Chain A
Amino acid sequence: GAVVSQHPSRVICKSGTSVKIECRSLDFQATTMFWYRQFPKQSLMLMATSNEGSKATYEQGVEKDKFLINHASLTLSTLTVTSAHPEDSSFYICSASAIGQRNEQFFGPGTRLTVL
């Protein structure tokens, strides 16, 4: 099946710093990428939908100025957590839909962010 990678897999940072997470579709072109956040023992919550070449669409309650999303190419989307705080510590997962396959999303392995 299609492969989605995320980098880094784990990051620890100090409060107030910014962290960038990359999501790449390795063997297909993704017109749409999705960013999810998962708190311990909870389900995935959609943060934003990212379409290549256009601005991301954020879910209600998600601050677009805090969670910057860039989808510059058909294989790469980035999520930047700006001025991170301990409450931003979470597991961030991206997924991607391939061109012509809107019925399915392929998920990345996730990035564990810990803000001290």
Chain B
Amino acid sequence: AQSVAQPEDQVNVAEGNPLTVKCTYSVSGNPYLFWYVQYPNRGLQFLLKYITGDNLVKGSYGFEAEFNKSQTSFHLKKPSALVSDSALYFCAVRVTRDNYGQNFVFGPGTRLSVLP
């Protein structure tokens, strides 16, 4: 089965410090990977995606993610965290299913708290 795991429910980091939000995946074939952020009572906002090419992907708001095929990981990173980065982060993979077309499978989410 195709799935996405985010091993940490909660990540706490001090403002100005680097942050990492972890994601591992299990898919057949080449993975199309995404990161989204969700603020309270809001929809998801796109941060970045990996389709092909360079393993290091740069996205919105200074975030980046590194695709590691051997470790089946796609960790989200930022060199210097801001208090405003505090939100819920979702890793997702696009999957193709017979008779269903294509859709996204989301990880359980990681809540990031950046402390001032």
Interface residues of A (CB under 8 A from B): 1, 4, 6, 32, 34, 42-44, 46, 49, 51, 57, 91, 93, 95, 102-110, 112
CA distance A6 to B99 in the complex (A): 27
Q: From B109, which residue of chain A is reached at the shortest CB distance? A: A43
Interface centre among B41, B44, B46, B90 (most CB of A within 10 A): B44
One of A42, A103, A112 near B32 (C-beta < 8 A): A103
Closest 8 CB pairs of A and B: A107-B44, A107-B43, A109-B43, A110-B43, A43-B108, A43-B106, A44-B106, A108-B43
23 A-B residue contacts at CB 8 Å?
A1-B46, A4-B43, A6-B43, A32-B101, A34-B103, A42-B108, A43-B90, A43-B106, A43-B108, A44-B90, A44-B106, A51-B101, A93-B43, A93-B44, A102-B102, A105-B104, A106-B46, A107-B43, A107-B44, A107-B46, A109-B42, A109-B43, A110-B43
CA distance A103 to B46 in the complex (A): 12
Among B94-116, those with CB < 8 Å from A are 94, 99-109
Q: From A58, which residue of chain B is reached at the shortest CB distance? A: B100
Closest-CB distance, A23 to chain B (whole angstroms): 10
Closest-CB distance, A60 to chain B (whole angstroms): 10
Q: Which residues of B contact A102 (CB under 8 A)?
A: 102
Which secondary structure characterizes the binding site on chain B? strand
Interface residues of B (CB under 8 A from A): 32, 34, 36, 41-46, 49, 51, 90, 94, 99-109
Interface centre among B45, B101, B105 (most CB of A within 10 A): B101
One of B36, B45, B51, B107 near A103 (C-beta < 8 A): B51
Q: Which residues of A contact B94 (CB under 8 A)?
A: 103
CA distance A106 to B45 in the complex (A): 8
